[in-house]
Amino acid sequence: MKADAPPLMQLNALRKTYRLRRTLIERLKGVDRVVTAVDGVSLSIQRGSILGLVGESGCGKSTLAQMLVGLLPPTGGTIEYDGTDMSGLAGDAWLNYRQGVQMVFQDTGSSLNPRKRIRTILREAVAARGLKGDCQDTRVAALMEQVGLDIQLLSRYPHALSGGQRQRVGIARALAMEPSLLLADEPVSSLDVSLQGQIINLLRELNENLGLTIVLISHDLAVVARVCDAIAVMYSGRIVESGTPDQVLTAPRHPYTQALLDAVPRGLERRDRKRTILPVESGPILTGCKFRRRCARAVNACETTDPKLATAGPGGHEAACLMVG
């Protein structure tokens, strides 16, 4: 990793909590019921890199993504974009941030307005960027070419496109904002295997050719391993392990990362391997390590001590586990 250059985005102890609806008695007693979705995430996103964010549903990665793009305000911590704290931004500076950090969504069905033609969807995007008149059409055509779509599709409605084509339109719409950071939230999980590679490769090309920084949220470790420069594994609102794909996926240090890797179906290589099956999750954990009840290596100390992300190997490999180090 290019640690010497300042990161494009720096997250410092970012938190997001939700207050649950309370019963009348709880209100009278002044009891607060709070759920922590993101629990103190610190992360640097290097300029021009692809960062893979891995974790299961409910681990807080989508909440984190929404905070990154500014759709959700953080409860605590800061997001520094290009060296400035985004919480104080207003007016043009805020618009600059907002348009500079774009998102590609998982569900290709709801990410495009069903009642608008592709042309309208893209025109609106370039218009929001300040282009007018004929410039709009030129730019729209250029965007379509950039994402590998035939301009004939411009007159179609989203439902007349395949999932892969819709995802390309979603990428084109994000590119219209000339972003410096693109957040792709499970961009291929709703697509067929034969088309997943096409979208992932498109993202790679954008990273290489435009220097676009990409955060790729995915549950598919193999995809992440293939294209990312850095990986962060999330569990229960925290980052439990981070490093390069080689570090994290070939020499995982956190038991959760190991379990995750073990769970990847690999029937084509090793059909009769016996894998460890994680026990079922049972209730929230308030003290100590959040993973301890499912962890085979948990000891007494895990119940009381909250593990912090610490060096787990050379070259910036970090893990949050007491058994590491």
Partner 1 sequence: MRRLVHMFGGPGGLAGAILVLLIVANGLAAPWIAPYNPTDVDMINTLAEPSPDHWFGTDQSGRDVLSRVIWGGRASLEVSALAVVVGLAGGITLGLLAGFFNGGWLEQIVMRTLDAMAAIPLLIWAIALVGILGVGPFTVLGLTFGNEVKLLVLLGVLYIPTIARIVHTGALGESRANYVAARRLQGVGSVRIMVSDVLPNCLSPVIVQATLLLAIGIIIEASVSFVGLGVQPPAPSWGNMLADARNYLFSGEWWLSVFPGAAISVSVIAFNLLGDGLRDALDPRHTTQALTA
Partner 2 sequence: MTEELLRIDALHVAFGEREVVRGVDLRIAPGEVVGLVGESGSGKSMSALALMRLLPTGGRISSGAIRFKGQDLMEMPQRAFNALRGSQIGMIFQDPLSALNPAISIGRQMIDMIRAHQPLSHGAAMARAEELLTLVGIPYPKQRLLAYPHELSGGMRQRVMIALAVSCNPSLLIADEPTTALDVTVQAQVMDLLDRIRTEFSIAILFISHNLELVAEISSRVIVMYAGRIVETGEVHDLFAAPRHPYTRQLLRCIPRLDGSHGAMPTIPGLPPRIGALPPGCPFAPRCDRAEAICHNETPPIVWHNRQMAVCHFAKEAVPA
Which positions lie near partner 1, rule CB under 8 A? Answer: 69-71, 95, 98-99, 101-103, 105, 107, 110-115, 121, 124-125, 128-129, 159-160, 170, 173-174, 176-177
Those residues whose C-beta lies under 8 Å from the C-beta of residue 28, and which sit 6 or more positions away, are none
Shortest distance (Å) from residue 63 CB to partner 1: 13
Q: Residue 25 class from Cβ within 10 Å (0-12 exposed, 13-18 middle, 19+ buried)? A: exposed
Contact 29, 64 (CB under 8 A): no
What distance in Å separates the CA atoms of residue 148 and residue 195, rounded to the nearest whole number?
A: 13
Cα torsion through 90, 95, 100, 102, rounded to 10: 110
- 217 binds partner 2 per the rule CB under 8 A: no
Binding at 4: pick from partner 2, partner 1, none (beta carbon under 5-8 Å per type): none
What distance in Å separates the CA atoms of residue 156 and residue 175, rounded to the nearest whole number?
A: 20
Give the nearer residue to partner 2 in terms of CB position, either 194 or 300. Answer: 194
Binding at 15: pick from partner 1, partner 2, none (beta carbon under 5-8 Å per type): none
What distance in Å separates the CA atoms of residue 278 and residue 284, rounded to the nearest whole number?
A: 16
Shortest distance (Å) from residue 149 CB to partner 1: 17
Give the nearer residue to partner 2 in terms of CB position, either 152 or 194. Answer: 194
Kindly state the helix (H) or strand (E) to which residue 25 belongs, with its residue range: helix 24-29
Binding at 296: pick from partner 2, partner 1, none (beta carbon under 5-8 Å per type): none
Handedness of CA 263, 308, 299, 57 (dihedral sign): negative
Q: What is the CA radius of gyration of the chain?
A: 21
Structure tokens given for 51 = 């960062």
Of residues 53 through 82, those in contact with partner 2 by CB under 8 A are 56-57
Binding at 165: pick from partner 1, partner 2, none (beta carbon under 5-8 Å per type): partner 2
Give the nearer residue to partner 1 in terms of CB position, either 18 or 26. Answer: 18
What distance in Å separates the CA atoms of residue 25 and residue 148, rounded to the nearest whole number?
A: 58
- 260 binds partner 2 per the rule CB under 8 A: yes
Shortest distance (Å) from residue 100 CB to partner 1: 10
Among 223, 232, 240, 302, binds partner 2 (CB under 8 A): 223
What distance in Å separates the CA atoms of residue 183 and residue 207, rounded to the nearest whole number?
A: 12
Interacting span for partner 2 (CB under 8 A) from 19-27, 105-113, 214-222, 313-321: 214-222
What distance in Å separates the CA atoms of residue 273 and residue 252, rounded to the nearest whole number?
A: 19
Of residues 146 through 205, those in contact with partner 2 by CB under 8 A are 162-165, 192-198, 200-201, 204
What distance in Å separates the CA atoms of residue 287 and residue 302, rounded to the nearest whole number?
A: 9
- 286 binds partner 2 per the rule CB under 8 A: no
- 246 binds partner 2 per the rule CB under 8 A: yes
Kindly list the residues in this chain that would bind partner 2 in the complex (CB under 8 A): 56-57, 162-165, 192-198, 200-201, 204, 219-223, 225-227, 245-246, 249-250, 259-269, 271, 275, 277-278, 280-282
